[in-house]
Amino acid sequence: MNAVEINGRAGGAVGGPAAGARWRRAVAPLGRAFVALVPSRRLALLVAVAAPVWLASASTVGATLATLLTVLIAVAALADALTTPAHWQVAVERAFPERLGLGDTVDAHYAVRTVSRRTLRFTLHDALPRGVSVGRAWSNPQEASSNRPCTLPVTLTGRERGAWLLGPMVLRVDGRLGLVRRALRWTTGDAVAVVPSMAGVRRYRLLSLHHRLHDVGVRALRRRGDGGSFAGLREYVVGDDPRLIDWKATARRDQLITREYTVEQGQTVLLALDAGRMMTQLEDAIPRYEYALSSALLLADVAIQSRDQVGALIFDDEIRGWAPPTRGRAALERLTRVMVPTVATMTEPDYAAAFRALGERQRKRSLIVLFTDVIDVRASQALIALTARGAARHVVVVVALRNDRLLKAATPRRDASTRRLYEAAAAEELVTAREAALARMRRAGVSVVDVSPHAMTAAVINRYLELKARSSL
């Protein structure tokens, strides 16, 4: 029978079970506070230094001295524990963004404040999920005071897409003597959503305003002849049509100024994303599907800025998401709601079902941009046949994600071992078969963009601008 049961049964006069419950509630915080106390390295070193005194405890004087020293250490540790700040004396704030792009790195910080009169020495520990990694820019321990809060800067990087609940924060604070440390815990319930990287949207828009899209590999293609509307003026660059020089603006600014025109033609762009097995392969620890998703959203933003209607279809062995073609400001938000929740799976993609859904839902001639991977002629036989058939009705662009590691493996070094040579031969066979499959698509009238995931965005936007400038639709 434990002490609580004894107090409860003896308690007709002291309140019975209710008094026992009140006693437990009163003692529980004190117990948790002492459990949160841990010895520091300084206390461990002090005990280690005092340990030889016990070797002389065989005599009365030695035992007395050892006992006295032990009591002094225990009293010092207890006094130090009583001087550690309580939970209510410290506040910790985690200033993280609500959204973080996959692969993007952003600045964030922790803020530690205290109402204690003395300087607070602490170390901060944060339990972050696997989808978010943090790069710390400070060295422990840190200090904070009542009139000088401590700000700890960090960098956050999105590693895996999804909604991630942030774990508890633990602050280990030192006592005045540094013998004991207390762990203070905060559970905030904060979350960070790791979404497809849209950092390039702002950059592409900014570069387009300054006519510097060539800095990221996007070529400025101009449509020859009439049929355009005036878009603005800019400085003349080598290669511009001399007929577009605005001589009045040139005279005013004392430098050559040329006119820019935009093509007045609204078209329909359909983004088809393969979310099947091949798109789960990793490229720099990130699935290739994530590269395709980011490039598709960037292309959607460029097309929407060009007043085109943009829709999306995501599929593996079934239709995972569908966004009908729309234009305007709300179009990108609608596409994001449909595309962002999807992830690549280990199922084989059903290209026939995807093209059948496109044929049923979009009868108007459109630009279909298919993000997928091509292995060889035999494995991609259905894809080749369907894209060739679709090219007779629509303008089909197949964005084939190149496997950089496979290309590297196909070129062995001179001092390669026999095993490495066999691996290179197998890799070269796969590369050759893949090129044959892409060549069959091109002969069937399909526009193919064979590109590395890292260079995919600029290449896809270039192809879109080229088709739009040529009025291919």
Q: What is the pLDDT of residue 201?
A: 52
For the ranges 157-171, 315-329, 403-417, the lowest mean pLDDT is seen at 403-417
User: How deeply is 23 buried, as exposed, middle or buried, from its count of CB atoms within 10 A (0-12, 13-18, 19+)?
Assistant: middle
Mean pLDDT of the chain, nearest integer? 79
Count of CB atoms situated within 10 Å of the CB of 47: 15
List, as one string, the DSSP characters of 407-457. HHHTS--TT--HHHHHHHHHHHHHHHHHHHHHHHHHHTT-EEEEE-GGGHH
When comparing pLDDT for 162 and 227, which is higher?
162
pLDDT 10s digits, 375-408? 877 778 888 888 888 888 889 999 999 888 888 8
List b or e across 440-462, with b for residues whose CB sees 16 or more CB atoms inside 10 angstroms: bbeebebbbbbbebeebbbbbbb
- Identity of residue 375: I
Cβ distance 124 to 92 under 8 Å?
A: yes
Query: What class, spelled out in words, does domain 268-469 have in CATH?
Result: alpha beta
Residue boundaries of the structural domains of the chain? 19-195, 268-469
pLDDT 10s digits, 260-299? 765 545 689 999 999 999 899 888 878 899 889 988 988 9
Q: What is the pLDDT of residue 314?
A: 95
Task: Give all strands of the β-sheet with 162-165 in edge-to-edge order.
Answer: 99-101, 191-195, 162-165
Q: How confident is the model at residue 205 (pLDDT cuts 50, 70, 90)?
A: very low
Q: How confident is the model at residue 20 (pLDDT cuts 50, 70, 90)?
A: low
Cβ distance 131 to 90 under 8 Å?
A: no
When comparing pLDDT for 471 and 119, which is higher?
119
Angle at 408 between CA 404 and CA 414, to 5 degrees: 175
pLDDT 10s digits, 129-159? 988 988 876 667 888 888 888 889 999 988 8
319-326/169-174 β-pairing: unpaired
> Which pTM does this prediction carry?
0.65
383/36 Cα distance (integer angstroms): 62
Judged against a pLDDT cut of 60, whether residue 196 lies above it is answered with: yes
pLDDT 10s digits, 63-73? 888 888 888 88
For the ranges 37-41, 341-345, 424-428, the lowest mean pLDDT is seen at 37-41
Q: What is the mean pLDDT of residues 302-326?
A: 91
Q: How confident is the model at residue 35 (pLDDT cuts 50, 70, 90)?
A: low
Judged against a pLDDT cut of 70, whether residue 1 lies above it is answered with: no
The 3-state DSSP class for residue 273 equals: strand
Q: What is the pLDDT of residue 371?
A: 95
For the ranges 43-47, 220-224, 303-307, 324-328, the lowest mean pLDDT is seen at 220-224
Q: What is the pLDDT of residue 311?
A: 94
What are the residues whose beta carbons fall under 8 Å from the beta carbon of 346, sequence distance 6 or more? 277, 280
Block residue for tokens 């979310």: 275
Q: How confident is the model at residue 34 (pLDDT cuts 50, 70, 90)?
A: very low
CATH code for the domain defined by 19-195? 2.60.40.10
Cβ distance 161 to 290 under 8 Å?
A: yes
